[in-house]
Structures are given as C-alpha cells and as structure tokens.
A and B are shown apart, each in its own frame.
Chain A
C-alpha cells in the first residue's frame, strides 16, 4: 500500500489525532504524578513508621492508607499523615517519638490489623522491630555526659541493659568521679522512642533516627585481622616474626613514661 496512492480515511486521521492528544495529555499528567510519587518517598527523619513497616519504597507500594493500624494502636501512638500538614506521604501511618512513642505491645496489634502486609506479618516478636535506632546526638547537653546521674533514657528503655547500657568512664572534669555514658546498641534497639520521649531536656539529647541516618556501614570486603587470626587459630601467613610491641614504660625510649630513656640518635631540631 503506497501512501501517495491511497486516500486516507478522515475517520482514521481523526482517531490517530485523538489518540495522540490523549496520550500527550497523559504523558504530561503522568509526569506530574510521578513527580509527586518521588516526593512522597522523602520521609522526614523524625517521622517513624510502625513496627514491621517495609522499607520506605516498598511501603509506599503496599500501604493502602486505610488507617486500620491506627485504629488498633491502643496508645494512640500512630496517626495518619494529613494533607499539607505533615510532610509524610498523605494518609500513611507514622509516629513522632517525642510526642507519643511506641509502647512495643507484645501482640503487635498494628501489624495484625494491616490487611496488605505493608506492616510485615512475619514480625512476631516486637523486640525484633526496627522502627529506627536511638542515637545520643547531643553529648554537650546530655546530663550523664556532665557527670550527673540522670539515667532516664536508660531506665525507661523497654530493652534495658541490652539496647541501652551505661558504660563507665573517667570524669576528667572532677578528676575523681565516674561518668555513666548511655550507650545504644543498634542490634537490640527497636527504635520505639521511649528514650527520646523521656529525655528530661527541653529538646531531647537522645533521638530515634531512621537507620540510614543513624548508622554507617562497613564495606563488605573489610576483614578484621585479629578476628581472622582468631578464627584461623594462628597467623595467616607462615614465617611472620612477632616483634615485641613497644609499650610505654621503663626500658623504652618513651620519655613521657617513668624510666624512659633518651634515644641514642639525635632528632633534628631537638637540642640535646
């Protein structure tokens, strides 16, 4: 069929024009919608998802924004984001630890209520939840870092002595006291936010952050020599001579230690 020889029907022309118009309009509208979708993924750091929530990208493909988790939350921790008020994707559930933290119910009613699996039903032990990780973000204002015994974040932690421990260290300011440093252990912290809620300061010194902000990560290829050696039961390379470690103390050339002696060679610029 040659184009020149066949008169094209006006209906066909009309159909093609209409289709092109509709497709063009949809391309424009669809781009705007996709832009909104990209925007929706930007979850503010202080907004925490309920326990068992899928990672944010998967969550937005799974959550139908029905609010059943909110209804079954006995402590009114969860709320649905309101249009234009909360910077969270509209209608999705979240909580702000400083307002109402998660009470970590044993039966996890929010997960049980979720009809779609946006809150993973595989989560059967609330201690395995990962809503975020608590970080002691402000050492300058934390009372325990001043050498005081506030300890509130430690005391309220539902996983006390595992998710938060108090690590003793020397208080250099007074010279003869100890500091009890609240220390979060990310493998046990559920991100419930009890510590942030309870921090006695006007602005909490300990905050629950999403894991991506709270933690770094080691590269996959990193190996710790001492662990490898331990696992191997000896040096990994045969014939290595284990030289004595140069520790401070008598008999070493460390002048700062008692009994240290001057090196036998002259250091440039040091008049001796």
Chain B
C-alpha cells in the first residue's frame, strides 16, 4: 500500500485533473438529482406542468406514465392487480433501469441520496468509526420482509415508511413531519452506521439492484495496471466491496464492475488521479496493457510524501 493512502482523499486527483475534473460525475449527479426534483416542482411552484405526480407514479406531458415498479410489485403482492396505465408505467421504468443499471436510480435520481451523502461527508470529516455494519445482504432480507408483510397485511407496506417517496412527496405536496424522518436517516448514517441506510437497509435500492443485475452500462477498471494503490476509490465508493474483484483481479479476469450493488455514481472515476476507471458497456472487458503510457509516475516522484 502506498504511503499516499495518508493523503486526504481526492487530493491527487484535484492536483492532476483540476477541481472540476475531479468532481465531474459528482457535479453531474447533483445536477441530475436537482433536475428530477425541479421537473416535479415546476408544476406546483410555477404552474409549468411538465411532470405531474411523484416518484411513486407520475405523468409526463400528459402522455408518459411512469410507476415505481417496486411499489407496483408490493401492490400486486398485497392483492391488487393495477390498471394498465400503472403496469405500462412500471414496465417502462423497469426496462430503462435494466439497461442503464438499476441503482442509477439511487445515485442519480433518489432525493435521499444527497442526505446520506452529506451524512457520509460529515462522518468522514469527523473521522468517526464506521459503526454498525450489518451484512450487505441485509437489504435483500428487508426486501423479502417488505413483500411478506405486504402480502400478509394487504397494504403496500414499504410506503408506510419509505423515506424516498415521503421526502419527494413532502417537497411537492406538503411535508408534515417528513423532515424528522430525513433527520433520523442523516443521524443514522452519521453516527450509527457508515453508509447504513443506502448501503445496508434500503429495500428500494436492493430491488433496483436486482433489476439492473444484467445492465449494459458498467464501470470498468480498464486501466487497472496503472493503479498506484492510493485507495481513494475505496474511500469514496459507497459500496466499496465491489471494487476489488475488478481492480485487483488476476490478469485474465474481467475489469468490469459487474456487481448489481454498483450505483454507477462515477465517483471512482472522478477521484482516480491515474484514470483507472471508465464508463463502458458490459461486453467491453478490454484491459489496457501494462505498457500503455501512464503519465503519472514521473511527476509523482518529485512530490513530497
């Protein structure tokens, strides 16, 4: 492990690529999250009705229905067969995320993501211990539990506490005490469990992960031979158990991050000073040869460690 591990996370990337270059996908992601929120808020705030409804179900320009397929699934399990509009809307969402990666929803759309990202940022700044770390599979158990409870009670169970739709709906229709729930998740991620909510508990993320299990859009550690073990990607990745198989795999293994847990947030691409990672498709398992030009080493030698 390089001594550069002890440098602040992302410092090298900022030095080599500039601040904008080292935060490209983060900025794009925040823009995307804001865009999705603003699209829904234009109507109630300014009377510009492009999108009506919430993330649970919406109608765009009066023609395009979209439905959260996880909510539709709970509805079916609870004993209600939705009308065609909701089924079509659910199918469209399902197909879209199956192509671009299910958890793209988590990092590019979900309004809770900025909350947990902020909690994690403060968590790192305060150098807090990672705390309670249940297995990553916990969210799958929660997912199964939600479906069982929906089936037994005949109520769309997760919507009773789902902070995603509650926050989103709260912003659009009136929040009530949703802020308390958002604060609870912030505190949970800050003090109780690092990456606790999105990384371990949330069944919505688990569901979308399963949708995108064979998705086309993937991050690849194509330039992994250039890796200098600075560990910054592990530090910024919200699901960092997924990096090693691709980055540290034996030469004949794929450099693609194929885990459905990957949210395609692109932070690893941002934070890597030697550009190991790149967005590509799942059939591109090309690995750059060790002889490929790696610009970094010479410049690094001069830097005090």
Residues of chain A touching chain B, judged by Cβ–Cβ distance below 8 Å, are 18, 22-23, 25-26, 29-30, 33-34, 36-38, 40-41, 54, 57-58, 60-68, 70-72, 79-80, 82-86, 89-91, 113-118, 121
For the complex formed, measure the closest distance between the CB of B297 and the CB atoms of chain A, giving whole angstroms.
Answer: 42
Q: Across the A-B interface, how many residue pairs have beta carbons closer than 8 Å?
A: 163
At the interface, yes or no: B266 with Cβ under 8 Å from chain A?
no
Is B231 located at the chain interface by the 8 A CB criterion? Answer: no
- Pair B53/A91 contact, Cβ less than 8 Å: no
Assuming the contacts A61-B155, A84-B176, asked whether A33 and B146 have C-beta atoms less than 8 A apart, the reply is yes
B59 close to A60 (CB less than 8 A): no
Stretch at the interface among B95-103, B114-122, B164-172: B164-172
Those of B45-65 within 8 Å (CB) of chain A: 52-54, 56-59, 65
User: Whole-angstrom distance between the alpha carbons of A153 and B156 in the complex?
Assistant: 38
- Which label, helix, strand, loop or mixed, suits the secondary structure of the B interface? helix
Asked whether, in the complex, the Cβ of B67 is within 8 Å of the Cβ of A64, the reply is yes
Check: B148 CB closer than 8 A to any chain A CB: yes
Closest partner residue, chain B, to A114 (CB atom): B83
Contacts A41-B155, A66-B56, A83-B166; is A117 near B82 (CB within 8 Å)?
Answer: yes
Asked, given contacts A37-B155, A115-B65, A115-B67, whether A64 binds B145 with beta carbons under 8 Å apart, the answer is no
Given contacts A64-B75, A91-B169, contact A115 B176 (CB under 8 A): no
| Partner pick for B82 among A29, A38, A65, A116, CB 8 A cutoff | A116
Which B residues lie within 8 Å of A67 (CB)?
Answer: 52-54, 169, 172-173
Pairwise interchain contact A57-B172, C-beta atoms closer than 8 A:
no
Q: Is the CB of A62 within 8 A of B75?
A: yes
In the assembled complex, 18 residue pairs joining A and B whose CB atoms fall closer than 8 Å, in A order, are A22-B141, A26-B144, A37-B160, A60-B78, A61-B75, A61-B154, A61-B156, A64-B56, A64-B159, A65-B156, A68-B58, A68-B59, A79-B173, A82-B178, A83-B175, A90-B176, A115-B82, A117-B81
Query: B72, A64: Cβ atoms under 8 Å?
Result: yes
Q: 5 smallest A-B Cβ distances: which pairs?
A: A82-B176, A66-B57, A84-B177, A61-B78, A117-B83
CA distance A54 to B78 in the complex (A): 14
**Chain A residues positioned under 8 Å from B85 (CB to CB):** 115-116
User: With a CB–CB cut-off of 8 A, which chain A residues contact B80?
Assistant: 54, 58, 61-62, 116-118
Q: In the bound complex, what is the Cα–Cα distance between A17 and B82 (angstroms)? A: 39
Interface residues of B (CB under 8 A from A): 43, 52-54, 56-59, 65, 67-68, 71-72, 75, 78-83, 85-86, 89, 135, 137-138, 141-142, 144-146, 148-150, 152-161, 165-166, 169-170, 172-178, 180-181
- Known contacts A33-B149, A60-B154, A114-B83: A22-B54 contact under CB 8 Å: no
Docked pose: A262 CA to B144 CA in angstroms: 83
Instruction: Among B75, B86, B153, point to the contact of A34 (Cβ < 8 A).
Output: B153
| Alpha-carbon distance between A54 and B155 when the two chains are bound, in angstroms | 13
Instruction: State whether A89 and B65 are in contact (beta carbons under 8 Å apart), knowing that A57-B154, A62-B80, A117-B82 are contacts in the complex.
Output: no
Shortest Cβ distance from A34 into chain B, in angstroms? 5
A71-B176 contact, Cβ under 8 Å, with A33-B161, A60-B155, A61-B80? no
CA distance A245 to B58 in the complex (A): 69
Q: Are B82 and A62 in contact, CB atoms less than 8 angstroms apart?
A: yes
Compute how far the CA of A117 lies from the CA of B157 in the bound complex, rounded to whole angstroms: 18
Q: A33-B146, A64-B68, A71-B43 are contacts. A38–B153 as well, Cβ < 8 Å?
A: yes
**Which residues of chain B are near A58, meaning CB under 8 Å?**
79-80, 154
Q: Which residue of A lies closest to B178 (CB)?
A: A83
Query: What A residues does B170 contact at CB under 8 A?
Result: 82-83
Cα separation A250 to B178 with both chains bound (whole Å):
77
Chain B residue, CB-CB nearest to A81: B176
A70 surroundings in chain B (CB, below 8 A):
173
Is there contact, CB below 8 Å, between A115 and B86? Answer: yes
The answer to whether A30 touches B148, judged by C-beta atoms less than 8 angstroms apart, is yes
A71's partner among B53, B65, B150, B178 (CB-CB below 8 A) is B53
